Amino acid sequence: LGEQRAVLSARGLSRRFGGFLAVNNVDIDVFHGEIHALIGPNGAGKTTVFNLLTKFLQPTAGKITLMGEDITSTSPDRVARMGLVRSFQISAVFPHLTVLDNVRVALQRPNGLAHQFWRPMSALDTLTGKADALLTTVGLMRERDALAADLSYGRKRVLEIATTLALDPKVLLLDEPLAGMGQEDITAIAGLIRSVAKTRAVLMVEHNLSVVADICDRVTVLQRGEILAAGDYATVSQDPQVRTAYMGR
Ligand code: ADP
């Protein structure tokens, strides 16, 4: 995997909050077709790295490229339109709309940011075919006409991922997609992430290490804002520093 093929890449990424260095000199590459996990204990800097990559926070130092283009100074809005999409950007699933309408609304947004103006609901009819195809892909066809409010927590997260996929991202950033789920939902979402990653890059923060071991191609371990280890899970999980610092073994 040569560096030139990384879809999303950061070099020397750092972020200071006052005197506190929350992210320190982080390098990360995310490749097309891979699932890359960002793991580490609470406070390690994972959320800050996500905020830096999506440009919600400006780095104090370092460089970020998306498909070869320097996005270090690009707005979050433009970065989303270029294809770097974080699940929560549109995770406000509308509870009083049906599953179908949630996906149709997402399909007509140019970049998934909630403040964009929308076309009237009547214009959504043209998007039904596309929406149904997407619902089939994610396995939500049975719940198509249900109100989002009536879905279980796990199915709501699937809908949230579907609305994110409506933007056809090149890089999908998922923030703890399995948090708070039962085993059945975990299996469904893990399978969904695996299938969506075939045609894009996925970077996810996740604490469920058995799923990380199962579906992720590579992991980057953060500790106190710095990279402790990076590589395939089997190698990284054997690293003595990682075992002491993170896995408690
Ligand atoms: P993680 O997601 O790995 O739990 P975070 O990125 O949320 O870690 O936080 C990393 C460190 O940066 C923490 O010590 C946190 O308190 C600090 N931090 C995060 N955001 C801010 C902020 N806006 N101002 C000051 N400190 C912050």
Is the CB of 17 inside a 6 Å radius of any atom of ligand 1?
yes
The verdict on residue 124 lying in a domain is yes
**Separation of 20 CA from ligand 1 center, angstroms?**
9
pLDDT of residue 90: 45
| 147 and 217 housed in the same domain | no
Considering just the CA atoms, what is the radius of gyration of the chain in Å? 18
Packing angle, helices 183-197 and 153-165, rounded to 10: 10
| 48 and 27 housed in the same domain | yes
| 164 and 177 housed in the same domain | no
pLDDT of residue 119: 58
pLDDT of residue 100: 96
| 70 and 89 housed in the same domain | no
| 175 and 163 housed in the same domain | no
pLDDT of residue 133: 96
| 53 and 19 housed in the same domain | yes
Is the CB of 40 inside a 6 Å radius of any atom of ligand 1?
yes
**Separation of 171 CA from ligand 1 center, angstroms?**
23
Instruction: Point out the ligand 1 atom lying closest to the alpha carbon of residue 57.
Output: 23
User: Rounded to an integer, what distance in angstroms lies between the CA atom of residue 51 and that of residue 89?
Assistant: 11
The verdict on residue 151 lying in a domain is yes
Our count of domains for the chain comes to 2
> Pick from 112, 147, 168: which residue ends a domain?
168
| 113 and 231 housed in the same domain | no
- CB-count burial class (<10 Å; 0-12, 13-18, 19+) for 60: middle
Range of the domain at 114: 84-168
Per-10-residue mean pLDDT for the chain, 249 residues long? Answer: 74 97 98 96 95 96 97 94 79 87 85 54 81 95 97 91 91 92 92 94 94 95 95 92 72
Q: Sign of torsion, CA 53 236 180 183?
A: positive
> Pick from 127, 147, 168: which residue ends a domain?
168
| 139 and 109 housed in the same domain | yes
pLDDT of residue 63: 98
The verdict on residue 190 lying in a domain is no
Report the CATH number at residue 152: 3.40.50.300
Residues belonging to the chain: 249
The verdict on residue 191 lying in a domain is no
| 60 and 175 housed in the same domain | yes
Helix ranges restricted to H, the chain:
46-53, 76-81, 99-107, 128-138, 153-165, 183-197, 209-215, 233-238, 240-242
| 60 and 129 housed in the same domain | no
Is the CB of 43 inside a 6 Å radius of any atom of ligand 1?
yes
Instruction: Point out the ligand 1 atom lying closest to the alpha carbon of residue 50.
Output: 6
| 141 and 107 housed in the same domain | yes
User: Rounded to an integer, what distance in angstroms lies between the CA atom of residue 178 and that of residue 188?
Assistant: 10
pLDDT of residue 122: 63
The verdict on residue 48 lying in a domain is yes
